[in-house]
């Protein structure tokens, strides 16, 4: 005893069930100074100062239960699991092994070797690949270099490479399914393919080109590829669309964004122009996604539209349905000058203020005199300008000059 402490060979004696044991273990093992040492080092460090009955066994158990040690440390024990040899195959190319050799220096763009070895004869195929390679690429190479020469193997041994676990099997099992359905069955005395289609299955034989010489197979493959591409295109497009139907007799708005001829100035507030016209009555459904609308008699455009151009009208709309009077079949607004509203000297020469047919006065635009003469010779612009300049209505001149001069400055700043 020393100062009410029990010592054994100079070491402090503790009760095995004391609450101080796990606290001291953490200091000697889990702290920065402890460094999560192994059983032997932790025991030696603690045994220099502490003692309790069964100390070494307890420390070994606590070290083995340490969460950080289990997560971070590698095992020094022998790997688990006994070797399970595969049965020897009884015929060549019935069972094969596959793997990749990677990390090679590039040679003509190739840096990977796809290795396929027959387990019985040890005969191998070494196919160069370019990185990155996909499961579909490997499947195509496997079919071209192995299946065409040796047929479809009964078993394949490979690691769990992601390439072997995805589309590779889908492509391979398509041919495996074809092989089964084209094989002779003694119970039916024929093949399942002939029972189903009434004819012999086509022969998938490689003749040295990328296209088979069997017309039937080529037709099947082309139809399959086209259908696959179509389904993929539909799936991708439908991700950004919604399924919506319009009822016959319903009133809807029509989305139109007609463009004007490039020979004249575009409207200054194009973003504020109407995007929907109507509402119009739905007369008939054409196909699955198109509808015929009841357009005004004066309309020159086709009356069948895709559902994406339609929007259901909500509420009671008293306004009569209308379309731009100058809208052509090609969805183009052809503007025709109506009269001259002003003349000025601009930075690029003489300019005239033109009011256009079927458009309000505020849609009038300043145009170059030479351009208007060239584009609208039947308008006789020279005569109209002379008449306008000879007019004594200076108030009107001043009013139009003030309004559209300000608009011109805004356009130049924009």
Does 102 score more than 70 pLDDT?
A: yes
Does 83 score more than 60 pLDDT?
A: no
Does 135 score more than 90 pLDDT?
A: no
In whole numbers, what is the pLDDT of the chain averaged over residues? 75
Distances 287 to 133, 241, 283, 290 between C-alpha atoms, Å = 43, 18, 13, 6
Does 124 score more than 80 pLDDT?
A: yes
C-alpha to C-alpha distance for 124 and 333, rounded to whole angstroms: 71
**Least confidently predicted of 15-29, 259-273, 305-319, 337-351:** 259-273
**Least confidently predicted of 86-100, 167-181, 276-290:** 167-181
More confident residue, 252 or 240: 252
C-alpha to C-alpha distance for 233 and 237, rounded to whole angstroms: 6
Contacts (Cβ under 8 Å, ≥6 apart) of 76: none
74: DSSP letter: P
Residue 128 has a pLDDT of: 93
- Threshold 0.95, pTM exceeds: no
Does 174 score more than 70 pLDDT?
A: no
Looking only at Cα atoms, what is the longest distance across the chain? 131
Cβ distance 296 to 321 under 8 Å?
yes
Q: How many other C-beta atoms lie within 10 A of the C-beta of residue 46?
A: 23
Cα Rg, the chain, nearest whole Å = 43
101 strand-pairing partners: 113
Residue 381 has a pLDDT of: 82
Half-sphere exposure of 359 (CA within 13 A, CB side): 22
Does 228 score more than 60 pLDDT?
A: yes
Residue 205 has a pLDDT of: 47
Does 70 score more than 90 pLDDT?
A: no
Q: What is the mean pLDDT of residues 401-411?
A: 44
Percent with pLDDT over 90 in the chain: 11
C-alpha to C-alpha distance for 139 and 169, rounded to whole angstroms: 8
Cβ distance 347 to 367 under 8 Å?
no
């Amino acid at each position: 005893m020393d100062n009410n402490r029990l010592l054994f060979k100079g070491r402090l004696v503790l009760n095995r069930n004391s609450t101080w044991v796990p606290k001291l273990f953490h200091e000697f093992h889990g702290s920065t100074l402890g460094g999560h040492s192994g059983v032997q080092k932790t025991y030696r460090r603690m045994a220099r100062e502490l003692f309790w009955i069964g100390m070494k066994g307890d420390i070994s158990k606590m070290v083995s239960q340490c969460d950080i040690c289990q997560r971070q440390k590698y095992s020094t024990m022998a790997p688990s699991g006994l070797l399970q040899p595969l049965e020897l195959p009884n015929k060549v190319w019935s069972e094969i092994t596959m793997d990749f050799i990677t990390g090679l220096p590039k040679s003509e763009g190739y840096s990977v070797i796809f290795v396929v070895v027959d387990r019985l004869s040890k005969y191998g195929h070494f196919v160069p690949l370019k990185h990155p390679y996909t499961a579909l690429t490997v499947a195509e190479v496997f079919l071209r270099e192995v299946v065409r020469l040796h047929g479809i193997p009964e078993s394949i041994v490979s690691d769990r490479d992601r390439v072997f676990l995805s589309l590779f099997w889908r492509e391979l099992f398509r041919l495996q399914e074809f092989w089964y359905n084209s094989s002779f069955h003694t119970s039916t005395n024929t093949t399942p393919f002939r029972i189903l289609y009434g004819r012999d299955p086509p022969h998938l034989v490689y003749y040295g080109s990328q296209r088979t010489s069997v017309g039937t197979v080529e037709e099947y493959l082309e139809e399959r590829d086209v259908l696959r591409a179509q389904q993929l295109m539909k799936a991708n497009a439908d991700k950004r669309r919604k399924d919506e139907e319009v009822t016959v007799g319903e009133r809807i708005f029509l989305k139109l964004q007609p463009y004007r001829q490039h020979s004249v100035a575009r409207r200054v507030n194009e973003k504020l122009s109407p995007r929907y016209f109507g509402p119009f009555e739905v007369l008939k459904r054409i196909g699955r996604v198109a509808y015929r609308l009841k357009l005004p008699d004066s309309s020159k455009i086709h009356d069948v539209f895709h559902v994406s151009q339609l929007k259901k009208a909500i509420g009671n709309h008293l306004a009569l349905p209308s379309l731009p009077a100058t809208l052509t079949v090609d969805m183009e607004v052809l503007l025709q000058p109506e009269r001259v509203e002003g003349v000025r000297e601009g930075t690029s020469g003489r300019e005239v203020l033109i009011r256009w047919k079927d458009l309000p006065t505020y849609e009038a635009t300043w145009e170059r005199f030479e351009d208007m003469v060239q584009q609208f010779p039947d308008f006789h612009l020279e005569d109209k300008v002379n008449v306008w300049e000879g007019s004594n209505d200076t108030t009107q001149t001043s009013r139009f000059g003030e309004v559209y001069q300000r608009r011109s400055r805004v356009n130049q700043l924009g």
